[in-house]
Amino acid sequence: MNPTLNDTAAQPVRIVPRTAATAADSTGRWSEDDVAALFALPFADLIFRAQTVHREHFSASEVELATLLSVKTGGCPEDCGYCPQSVHFDTGLTAGKLMAVDAVREAAERAKAAGATRFCMGAAWRAPKDRDVEAVAELVRAVKDVGLEACATLGMLNEGHAETLRDAGLDYYNHNLDSAPDFYGDIITTRDYQDRLDTLERVRGAGVKVCCGGIVGMGESRRQRAGLVAQLANLSPDYPESVPINNLVKVEGTPLADQPDLDPLEFVRTIAVARITMPRARVRLSAGRQQMSEAVQALCFLAGANSIFYGEKLLTTGNPDVAADMALLDKLGITARRA
């Protein structure tokens, strides 16, 4: 039997009282210094703290399965240094048109049959036009008809776009901050950090849940990873309901193709710090999971990750296949969250 939130067995001995070095201030905000102090904790202490927080809000043996489909691939005018879909880089990717409703519905049905509860759709736009948003709204309706939660990531939204998607049934809108503000310009020059914050504000204003995280392993310092987490944890009026933590997937032809690998334990630390600072969020183990060993993935779950992208492909890069995922979860005694 899996432990529930009310099971005594699921509640470990309480950790020592939180100090200024390891907790938000009296306003509930996390300073960059305090987040950096979490990163600097001894590994065992950090994992214990994260696991304690995790069990206060979730079952420790349950994970959400989400599927991500690229519904419009390539041709993006942005110059994000990590992205193979940018027109600025020669990665061998052929740009395509927006998928048809029937094709997306079939993909959603396959995802549901494989156990997914959330279906995310990504389109490579800088900012969709009104007609694009109307077309995606039809895709959202199709996903909702299948009985899945619907999420979309379409770039920057203009006035009224979030409301159109909300009215179609969209549950989550994904728009990552990507990095700390002081590192952002090293990775992207075609939009400002404030552009991302403006889109998140429009999403919140429309009453759509926010899915927002970032990418680590792009050459940032630990302090800058702390800056990213602090930005996420301090978003107004609250931190995101869903927080994808991505490990850079290096793609030939992009500026970050030769970036040295991030130490796997540093990635685990990032998951743990995200869990501590955003205790009620779904922390998603996202891009880069294919390159992780089973042991590293297990540590990520122990650190508080409770959502994964599930299926053959994560936008344009590979993802562990369904059978391998189910085998790993079975080894760990982790079950899929039911809708």
Flag whether pLDDT at 209 surpasses 70: yes
Task: Give the pLDDT score at 28.
Answer: 76
Between β-strands 118-123 and 62-72, what pairing exists: parallel, antiparallel or unpaired? parallel
Task: Give the pLDDT score at 135.
Answer: 95
Task: Give the pLDDT score at 210.
Answer: 96
Query: Where does the pLDDT of residue 26 fall: very low under 50, low under 70, confident under 90, or very high at 90 and above?
Result: low
Query: Where does the pLDDT of residue 315 fall: very low under 50, low under 70, confident under 90, or very high at 90 and above?
Result: very low
Lowest mean pLDDT among 84-88, 130-134, 195-199, 227-231: 84-88
Q: Where does the chain show beta strands of DSSP type E? A: 62-72, 118-123, 149-153, 172-174, 209-211, 214-216, 242-247, 282-285, 307-309, 313-314, 317-318, 335-336
Exactly one of 49, 211, 212, 275 is catalytic; which is it? 211
Residue 300 is among the residues annotated as catalytic for this protein: no
pLDDT tens-digit series, residues 277-304: 999 999 999 888 888 899 999 999 999 9
Exactly one of 49, 80, 289, 337 is catalytic; which is it? 80
Query: Where does the pLDDT of residue 256 fall: very low under 50, low under 70, confident under 90, or very high at 90 and above?
Result: confident
Compute the mean pLDDT over every residue in the chain, rounded to the nearest whole number: 85
Task: Give the pLDDT score at 38.
Answer: 98
pLDDT tens-digit series, residues 39-62: 999 999 999 999 999 999 999 899
Query: Where does the pLDDT of residue 229 fall: very low under 50, low under 70, confident under 90, or very high at 90 and above?
Result: very high
Exactly one of 196, 269, 275, 284 is catalytic; which is it? 284
Q: Are 160 and 152 in contact (CB under 8 A)?
A: no
Q: Which residues pair with 65 in a beta bridge?
A: 308
Residue 141 is among the residues annotated as catalytic for this protein: no
Task: Give the pLDDT score at 252.
Answer: 84
> Can you spell out the DSSP letters for 225-260?
HHHHHHHHHT-SSS--SEEEEEE----TTSTTTTPP
Residue 212 is among the residues annotated as catalytic for this protein: no
Query: Where does the pLDDT of residue 123 fall: very low under 50, low under 70, confident under 90, or very high at 90 and above?
Result: confident
Exactly one of 49, 55, 83, 196 is catalytic; which is it? 83
pLDDT tens-digit series, residues 102-116: 999 999 998 888 888
Average pLDDT over residues 148-156: 92
Task: Give the pLDDT score at 261.
Answer: 93
Residues of the chain above pLDDT 70, percent: 84
pTM to 2 decimal places: 0.86
Q: Would you call the peptide bond into 237 cis, given omega within 30 degrees of 0 as the criterion?
A: yes
Exactly one of 49, 76, 196, 300 is catalytic; which is it? 76
Best CA proximity match to 183, nearest among 126, 231, 128, 118: 231
CA angle 314–308–325, rounded 5-degree value: 85
